[in-house]
Amino acid sequence: MKTEGRNAVLELLKTDKTIEKILLEKEAQGTLRRIFAEARKKDIRVQFVPRAVLDRESAEGRHQGVIAFTTEFAYTDFEALGKGEESLIVLCDGIEDVHNLGSILRVAECAGAEGVVIPKAKGASVTEAVVRISAGAAEHIPVAKVSSINAAIDALKARGYWVYALEAGGGLIYDTELSGKIALVVGGEDCGVHRLTREKCDGVLSIPLFGKVNSLNASVALGIAVYEVVRARLKK
């Protein structure tokens, strides 16, 4: 698996993941030299190569002069997620766009979520592009893959979580108590949270919209919601 981009590789170097090698652009300066220094501390093999080599290895041509090669992404066991009394879990119900998934991981990690749950089928997986878009967040936040998001909701509720779908037509998010164990379900780009999944949830939370566009991007909506959870925690 390849991790591209300066910030993403720097975050990767902070973890215990196995890095097989790093390709750095010749005559590297600034942040690239810092990456080299950190890699040397961990005895990671570094190769200085022409930019053309990086261009060839890059999936989208956005390597910023560095590509790290690691083992495949290691998913976390779902049962290991969110053991604390103030846990926040994010569930993705059919997020198929890698840009959205990468942004969701970044938002969830920044807000202190204990994990993100994605389905094994009908949704994006954590790929090289997702890791890059997450700006390194994918290296820090646990991600679990499950056979059924609905079954995951049942399991979380049995563990004392309040589970809410982020969807239009629900209760105003600002009027909801969001302390304690909270799980938020964010829906796919086209159809939102599926009907059966909504029915599994304890409630539906909505964000008021005042413009002419009638919906928010999934990761933007999640960003607003998770920081309402953060605000509830900080008020205690």
**Binning pLDDT at 50, 70 and 90, where does residue 209 land?**
confident
Residue 227 has pLDDT above 90, yes or no: yes
pTM reported for the whole predicted model: 0.79
> Packing angle between helix 98-110 and helix 218-234, nearest 10 degrees?
10
Confidence of residue 211 (pLDDT cuts 50, 70, 90): confident
Mean pLDDT of 143-166: 95
Q: Tell me the fold of 78-234.
A: Alpha/beta knot (3.40.1280)
Calculate mean pLDDT across residues 49-65. Answer: 89
Residue 181: band (very low, low, confident or very high) from pLDDT cuts 50, 70, 90: very high
CATH architecture for residues 2-70: 2-Layer Sandwich (3.30)
The whole-angstrom separation of Cα 173 and Cα 170 is 8
Compute, in degrees rounded to 10, the torsion defined by CA atoms 133, 201, 77, 180.
90
User: Does 204 have pLDDT greater than 90?
Assistant: yes
pLDDT at 236: 67
| C-alpha to C-alpha distances, 190 to 31, 59, 94, nearest whole angstrom | 39, 26, 9
Alpha carbon 86 to chain centroid, angstroms: 19
Taking the domains of the chain in order of start, what are their residue ranges? 2-70, 78-234
